[in-house]
Amino acid sequence: MGLLARVESPHTVRSSRLTLRPVGPEHLDDLIALKGDEAAFGLMLNGTRTPERTDQELRDDMAFWATRSYGTWAVHLSEDDTFLGIVGLMERPDGLGVALRFALWPQVRGRGYAREAARAALEFGHAAGLRRIIAVARETNTASRAVLGDLGMQECGGFPHNGHAMKVYESLR
């Protein structure tokens, strides 16, 4: 792990301001709200989710953690445990590999939380033995692309998806 984050019990990660906990049943209501919100989740692969789909994704995320020892974390502000969003490392359905993803509430953007959470997840993934981690962002999503660049991820390709130009980034260790 880098200097910015430390791993606890065994998959909880703390950074200077954030606590990342593997998603579990206790996060379902927060996840339904986040994933159903267009401003928070509209740019994610396949867009917003129904409560039923969010419930199934939570079950899938928990199973993924059990088999892979990495996955999706709920991001909380350490000082008061406020739920800010999610960050994760997931296998992409298109075969591109393990991808870093993040989605935070719009009202907490611009404070560096996405960058901090994404850096902690990226460090965790590399420490867990992932040599290559990718991320995909719409070409027009300059905020996410700036975060990926600040993490040291390098643009390595692109593809069209549903009428949008997508950019692929990678981090190699």
Half-sphere CA count of 3, side-chain side, radius 13 A: 0
Is 85:77 a contact under the CB 8 Å cutoff?
A: no
Confidence of residue 23 (pLDDT cuts 50, 70, 90): very high
- When pLDDT is cut at 50, 70 and 90, the band that residue 99 belongs to is very high
Provide the pLDDT for residue 2: 42
Q: What's the one-letter identity of residue 24?
A: G
Q: Quickly list H helices, 14-141.
A: 28-35, 38-41, 51-68, 113-127
Residue 1: band (very low, low, confident or very high) from pLDDT cuts 50, 70, 90: very low
| C-alpha dihedral sign at 18, 22, 24, 30 | positive
Please state the pTM of the whole predicted model.
0.89
Q: What is the mean pLDDT of residues 35-52?
A: 85
Residues 136-167: pLDDT tens digits? 999 999 999 999 999 999 999 999 988 989 99
From residue 141, alpha-carbon distances to 128, 137, 172 in Å are 29, 6, 23
CB distance 66 to 59 below 8 Å: no
Q: Is 115 within 8 Å of 17 (Cβ atoms)? A: no
pLDDT at 106 over 60: yes
Domains and their CATH numbers in the chain: 6-130 (3.40.630.30)
Q: What is the per-residue pLDDT for 8?
A: 54
